[in-house]
Amino acid sequence: MLDAIDKELLRSVADLEGIPKGAYNIRKNGKLLGREVSANIEIDAHPDQEGIVVRIAPGTVNESVHIPVILSQAGLHDVVYNTFIVGEGADVTIVAGCGIHCGGSKSEGHEGIHEFRVEKNARVRYVEKHVAIGPGKGKRILNPTTRVFMAENALAEMELTQLGGVDEAHRVNEATLSAGSSLMISERVMTEDDQTASSENRLFLEGDGSRANMVSRSVLKGTSRQDLKVNLVAKARCFGHIECDAILMDRAVNKTLPALEALHPDAELTHEASIGKIADDQLMKLMSLGLDYDEAVNRIIQAFLK
Amino acid sequence: MLELKDLTFTAPEDDGAPARTIIDHVSYRFEKGLFYAVTGPNGSGKTTLAKLVMGILPAESGKILLDGTDITEFSISERSRAGIAYGFQNSARFKGTTFRDLLSIAAGTDDEEKLVRIIARVGICSLDFLDKPVDAKLSGGEIKKIELATVIARNPRVAIYDEPDTGIDLWTIEPMVDLLKREQESFGTTTIVVSHNKTFLEAADRLLLIKGGKIAYEGALPEADSLLADLSACNYTTICEGEDNAGCYR
């Protein structure tokens, strides 16, 4: 059964008002809370490690899988290995995410190691939100790892979001792209107080005609710190782009390292990166439309992280 | 309606350059519902005057009254809520913010029907345009339409446009002037346009020529011809690319 905190966490990380329709696997405090499969989507326990294997049958379209994790047990550090096999020609949405409720002084954490095998001509949209709430003083720690293997002409869109409350986060994203495949990673991170977040990304464009686009948007408040590294390695005739923007507020600090490596003469790689405060002309524009300074700041940040 | 009383602004010392008086004890009364063109040589203080009215720059001394209320100490937001709107010469570009976001803030509603009625007034027919990001990818003409729409959406008592022809094609100036005149006449908007462009100057009910931080002339355009001919050489030839028939007074 879901209690009020569970429902709040599910709403925050997966936009769920309760148990979802279709296939799902809900994990609470390291244990299975509920699971449902569909005719085209199988979910089994991982054969070797703690976690699950989600198999999406070839040709499955317009279906979704929800696999949220909720944590509310002081001192628990949950580690799971989840594998997703998206069959040839499938077109599905996977909604993951972890919500932590910290009520005490002990730390709580979750490490989700997700591996995606996106088969030929398959399309997957992966949505992952990380949220931490609660009055406790214990650290809330989230260390996700995402590994993506993309077959020919596969397409993956990954929306990775962490919008507050997480004290420490270390994210790793890795992807290998075959010919004609496309990967779009969109990462949104907001830190405040003395929180830290780091993100390491290694994207390998190995097939002709492959495309990767990584967009990172960061907002840093208080004395928080974020580090971002993106390595784009091109081994074929391909296209890759990195766009990283960080808004600094208060006394926060940021390090952004976009790196391009062309190992093929026909590779096209580009990057743009910016770090700075909210531009005065943006604030003045919104204030000239009637918003107070604080309202203008909030609107700009909300839209930036949207 | 909008009254400036003995308004002065001095730019502080900057990087070795001495402090300089940009607006020098200017007093003037803008009447309700009229169309004013503010012109003058580059660096004469016309944009500074507009920014002082909007509160983007603080007055050093003097007063600004709107319908008798002293708004000299009002913030930009307070002046906006009091009924002054401002079209920026160089519009802000955002990341993630769409035209719909800006227009909803300006209009105080996200009701799509109402937003569509506003964009129709500036000649935007496509609904898709509402969801365009207001970012660096927009053309000069697109960002200018967005700027105008957000000013108009405020239903202002006083609309100030700073060099509204910056960054747009010469042949789109005429429709822009028609739009501002239409808004002025339909809603009684007191309209103040800072410009060198002949089309705006000709459309105005009153011309204000600013020179050396003071109002050198106030009145109708024909009487100002000789003064305008004396203005300093143009520094904006990159905008019209030296076209002979650009039709501006510089």
Give tens-digit pLDDT for A156-205.
999 999 988 899 999 999 999 999 999 999 999 999 999 999 999 999 99
- Name B122's Cβ contacts closer than 8 Å, sequence gap at least 6: B145, B148, B149, B152, B179
pLDDT band at A66 (very low <50, low <70, confident <90, very high): very high
Q: Does B157 touch chain A (CB under 8 A)?
A: no
pLDDT band at B249 (very low <50, low <70, confident <90, very high): low
- For the cut 50, the answer to whether the pLDDT of residue B75 exceeds it is yes
Would you state the pLDDT for residue A166? Answer: 94
Which chain A residues are closer than 8 Å to B154 by Cβ?
289-290
| Token representation of residue A15 | 């936009």
Burial (CB count within 10 angstroms: exposed 0-12, middle 13-18, buried 19+), residue A35? middle
- For the cut 90, the answer to whether the pLDDT of residue B198 exceeds it is no
| Token representation of residue B57 | 């720059």
To the nearest whole angstrom, how far is the Cα of A306 from the nearest Cα of chain B? Answer: 7
Would you state the pLDDT for residue B247? Answer: 56
Mean pLDDT of B204-210: 93
Which chain B residues are closer than 8 Å to A275 by Cβ?
none
Would you state the pLDDT for residue B232? Answer: 45
Mean pLDDT of B17-36: 92
Q: Do B106 and A304 touch (CB under 8 A)?
A: no
Which chain B residues are closer than 8 Å to A287 by Cβ?
75-77, 80
Token pair 């077959």: residue: A151
Q: Does B127 touch chain A (CB under 8 A)?
A: no
- For the cut 90, the answer to whether the pLDDT of residue B193 exceeds it is yes
pLDDT band at B248 (very low <50, low <70, confident <90, very high): low
- What element of type H or E holds A268? strand A268-276
- For the cut 50, the answer to whether the pLDDT of residue B105 exceeds it is yes
Min mean pLDDT across A70-79, A200-209, A220-229, B62-71 is at A70-79
To the nearest whole angstrom, how far is the Cα of A282 from the nearest Cα of chain B? Answer: 5
Considering only CB atoms, B92 lies closest to which of A245, A285, A292, namely A285
The answer to pTM > 0.90 is: no
Min mean pLDDT across A117-121, A228-232, B38-42, B61-65 is at B38-42
Min mean pLDDT across A150-154, B3-7, B141-145 is at B141-145
Considering only CB atoms, B92 lies closest to which of A281, A292, A299, namely A281
pLDDT band at A7 (very low <50, low <70, confident <90, very high): confident
Min mean pLDDT across A103-107, A115-119, A120-124, A221-225 is at A103-107
Q: Does A294 touch chain B (CB under 8 A)?
A: no
The backbone torsions φ and ψ at residue B107, rounded to the nearest 5 degrees and listed phi first, read -85, -15
Q: Which residues pair with B181 in a beta bridge?
A: none
Would you state the pLDDT for residue B18? Answer: 84
Interface test with A, best of B94, B98, B102, B151 (most A CBs within 10 A): B94
Residue of chain B whose Cα is closest to the Cα of A218: B95
pLDDT band at B233 (very low <50, low <70, confident <90, very high): very low
pLDDT tens, position by position, A18-61: 677 789 999 989 889 889 999 999 999 999 899 999 999 999 99
Residue of chain B whose Cα is closest to the Cα of A294: B77
Residue of chain A whose Cα is closest to the Cα of B83: A290
- Name A228's Cβ contacts closer than 8 Å, sequence gap at least 6: A198, A199, A201, A216, A218, A244, A246, A254, A255, A256, A257, A258
Which chain A residues are closer than 8 Å to B102 by Cβ?
285-286, 289
To the nearest whole angstrom, how far is the Cα of B94 from the nearest Cα of chain A? Answer: 7
ipTM above 0.85 for this complex:
yes
Q: Average pLDDT, whole number, for chain A?
A: 93
Residue of chain A whose Cα is closest to the Cα of B56: A284
Q: Which residue has the higher pLDDT, B102 or B241?
A: B102
Residue of chain B whose Cα is closest to the Cα of A247: B95
Coil, helix or strand for A306? coil
Q: Does A253 touch chain B (CB under 8 A)?
A: no
Mean pLDDT of B168-194: 89
Query: Would you list the DSSP string of B167-209?
Result: TS-GGGHHHHHHHHHHHHHHH--EEEEE--BHHHHHH-SEEEE
Which residue, among A1, A23, A128, has the nearest Cα to A69 in the 3D structure?
A: A128
Residue of chain A whose Cα is closest to the Cα of B133: A303
High-pLDDT (> 90) share of chain B, % = 62
pLDDT band at A135 (very low <50, low <70, confident <90, very high): confident
